[in-house]
Chains A and B, each alone.
Chain A
Amino acid sequence: MSGPAPASDEPELVERSRAGDRSAFEELVRRHADRLYAVVLRFVADADEAEDVTQEAFLRAWRSIGSFEGRSRFFTWIYRIGINEAKRRTERKSPARAFGSIEDGPIEEAPDWSEAPEFRAEQGDLRRVLEDAVRALPPEYRAPLILRDVEGLSTQEAAEVMELGEAAFKSRLHRARLAVRRAVDRYYLEGER
């Protein structure tokens, strides 16, 4: 899985939008708004706010479409605007916390739950654990994980959305993954007590 497949007429729609054609831009909205909304909803966890962020992202994109040079795909650009807006709002609500110590502490001896038959994401409890763990990540770690592991973008695409080099992106992604894995560890440890 990766980002949405570009329709062959997408570069033309972008070009027409750059020239001020509103109907062309509205077609881009129809193609990308729902997927951007889904990504943002994972990020902010509030349907109204996710919708507002999605609207704001497209509004900003329309206002600055003249500066979009088409070196990346349109969805990469609009995801970047949406994620940045979602991050800005999240950080305003809860200022960044230190993340340095995660996974660096002493090793907890949790059970190996990898083969547990009940380990299914659609199960209520576990789904909640995973979603809470993702939302507990600081925004700069949450975004790589959502883009790469939940939405299924390739590493290259997700790094481009984040405007990070691949090495920096992979480092954040790895730490985010370990943090979520550790949250499931804690869930199983508590279940054993």
Chain B
Amino acid sequence: MRLARISILSGLLLFAMVGTLVAPGPAPSQAAGGTVTVAQGAEPATLDPFQEISRTGYNVTLHIYDPLFMRNDAGKIIPMLATGYKILNPTTWEFILRTGVKFHNGEPFDAAAVKFTLDRALLKDSPSNYLVDGVKDVRIVDPRTVQVTTADPMPLLLPNLMLLGIAPSHYYQAQGASYVATHPVGTGPYRFQSWVKDDRVTLVANHDYWGGVPNIESLVFRLIPDPAARVAAFRSGEADIITDFAPDLVSSIANDPRIKADVTTGTRSINIMLDTSTGPLRDKLVRQALNYAVDKDAIVKNILGGFGTVESTLVPAAYLGFSPLLRPYAYDPAKARALLAQAGYPNGFDIVFQSPRGRYLADAQVSQAVVGYLKAVGVNADLKYYEWGNFVNMYFKHQLGPIFLIGSGSAALDAADALENVSCDVWDSWYCNQGIQAIYVKAKATLDPDRRAALYREIQSLVYDEAPIIFMYTQKGIYGVNTRLNWTPRSDETLWLAKATLK
């Protein structure tokens, strides 16, 4: 008996020891006034501005590095490291640079840094190449003037440059890319302090910042991969801002006055691509039928909790060139059947449908819902899921199709990026219409934003009728924001805290 008691007691002793750690104390202290913690679901793989091109990465790096231009909260382009620009001719831009700016290590900012940055981004094996692809030459005119020549007129150069942080050429070349990846130096409002890999990046305010010292002294970017754990950290006050707030958890914070969910129009557009080169999908009527067959409102309401906007075009509303005139295809299964019959498929047909799983919000459920709607009009879709890495591999090998779900998003906020999916330019393309392509090429070379937007709208009206995709929705961006912070998220999904204040 004593023995059993001893055994149990030693087990209980362990619990007691744990218990002493538990002294219920005050809530884990709110970050001391002056520190704001942002929790994201992923962390940057590297702080090298050329290597890291994910949204979660930019959210960190754009505090350390300044680009030449940025958008303000109203969407207007504002000068950053460049104070202005001139378009000398359709293929030559001249950027006038800000003077008196230094990098965090004291190195002066000048045209050499800009040339170094652009040249490096242009390297074929640089992930940032997509931002400057089309630039032919970068020339230093004088320490505060840089001329950039493009092969063809490139209206997206300016918005694309908003994502390219300017790097210090001497520091970068002296230390090497590997070192810069973990010891970034830029001109930005925040300096790099420390990075505990897979845990958090800590930045401190740059007291010599040309744009004025930020109000918040320190920023911590934490990584909390699990969406529910992220919301838990938000509720407990450990995180002041969270990104990718799971829609089904938004209601869990309804009764807490200290925290709120902010919703933006979003830039992530989900669409179902159709391979129009084979089978029944060659017929426009079939493609339109598929659009009538799916109840997109129901999908947004029930699967996304209402946090989405049904689209009539694959261009999200926040983009330049968005066409507001088109009404989304209505949910009309009878009409879908009629169109299918008219096209010669009164009994529907069989087809393969590929979907990623876990890559986009509720992607698997959305695909399943779509399959259900298609079946109701006689189209039997064989749904296959793929892990994202495999899916991307198949995309690049053009092995996807005839139907697949994919998302797109762009920080340039220009319709060209979205419309590329229905141009002839994408990897042998799943849809190629010469008429639309001609307008697309013209639009891409039109520097004047209003004329470009008009061309984009023309394309969208044609695309709407041609229905080379099943138009689905744009996801709303949901952020959790603690009310002690004066900050609202932006529709272009750029998270920038340099001007934020604490109440």
A binds B: no
Tell me the B residues contacting A by CB distance below 8 Å. Answer: none
Tell me the A residues contacting B by CB distance below 8 Å. Answer: none
